[in-house]
Structure 1
Amino acid sequence: MRTVVVYESMYGNTREIAEAITEGVHRADPEASVDCLPVSRADAEVTRTADLLVVGGPTHMHGMSSGVSRRMAAMAEAKKEGHEDAAHEAHETAGGPGLRSWFHSLPKTEPGTHAAAFDTRADTRMSGGAADGIAQRLARHRYDVVTDPEGFVVEETDGPLRQGGIERARVWGAGLV
């Protein structure tokens, strides 16, 4: 089985979840070929070869990020002392393609190609989540979404992930196989 995990990450939290999902797939199927790629490196050739495509991103303004929300997040992170690594990742992500634009170039697939969606989000009543929108876009591209979209909680705007989130992502990834 070939799995491709594609993620957008501003502060590293979504990247950490994507990497944990990748580990979970490997635990469940040690023979599986699994690639974990930022959205900027996930071209149509890579996704076309997947038996399972897992896509995730951060939640911004109740849903998937936009160019404006990524730039706002990068500017806010740059103002924080002691957050140089996160600020660098946020700046890199803000200047590149986000999931919204990536979906425009994602080719439609043949029926039977599986997919799953996840996000990182704040734990507030009004925060919303990006995973539902990601799952809807996957379905529009004819992917068979095999499980309900999953959210992983980030404690502050820029992290850290809630305790136990990494292991929960590994278990979720293993369950996709």
Structure 2
Amino acid sequence: MKALVVYESMFGNTAQVAEAIAAGLRETMSVDVREVKDAPAVPADDIDVIVAGGPTHAFSMSRTRTRTDAIARGATHGEVDFGLREWINGIPDERHSSSLVTFDTRVSKVRRLPGSAARSAAKAGRRHGFASYASPESFYVDDMSGPLEDGELERATAWGRELATLAAAR
């Protein structure tokens, strides 16, 4: 089985989570990890699962305006004009053989507020013809720039392991 992990990261936290998820997936499947700007515009047909994630900005996936703001606040990763939203929206609307599972990073102080990049990405994926076999997942940072809360990387690895098990059972 093959997985593609695609991530957008502004402060490096989401990149760390993506790598941890990939580590869990790698225990039983082949995994390619790509920053969103380097991800294939059309994922290959032999990919069984795409795990895609990004930071939650203004209760959703990032936009040019929110990425510009993150860079103004010290972000050293990512691109102003291209993120997870643009990548998903660039994928053709058709039934895909891959499943799409989504994750995000978000500030722990707003755990209970509505909206998340993972849920928005999952919804966009469904509009573009992807099925999913797992609920969107959030991983928490202490502040906008991080760091990740204690235990989040271990939780991400365990979630990757669970995703691989669920994919194999399908």
Task: Tell me the secondary structure at the aligned position of residue 106 of structure 2.
Answer: strand
Is the 1:56–1:119 contact (alpha carbons within 8 Å) kept by the matching residues of 2? yes
The match for 1:4 is: 4
Correspondent of 1:114 among 82, 95, 99: 99
Q: CA deviation at 1:100?
A: 1.4
What TM-score do the two structures reach when normalised by structure 2? 0.88
Task: Tell me the secondary structure at the aligned position of residue 151 of structure 1.
Answer: strand
State percent identity of aligned pairs.
Answer: 39
Q: Which has the higher helix share?
A: 1
C-alpha distance in 1 between matches for 2:151 and 2:57 = 22
Q: CA deviation at 1:68?
A: 0.4
What TM-score do the two structures reach when normalised by structure 1? 0.85
The match for 1:35 is: 32
Structure 1: tracts of 5 or more residues without a match: 78-86
Letter in 1 for 2:99: H
The match for 2:130 is: 143
CA RMSD between the two structures: 1.6
What is the aligned residue count?
A: 162
Structure 2: tracts of 5 or more residues without a match: 165-170
Q: CA deviation at 1:62?
A: 0.9
Residue by residue over 1:2-55, the C-alpha shift from the partner in whole angstroms, topping out at 9 and shown as x without a partner, is: 10000000000000000000000012x0xx220110000012344544110110
C-alpha distance in 1 between matches for 2:94 and 2:3 = 14
Correspondent of 1:167 among 129, 154, 159: 154
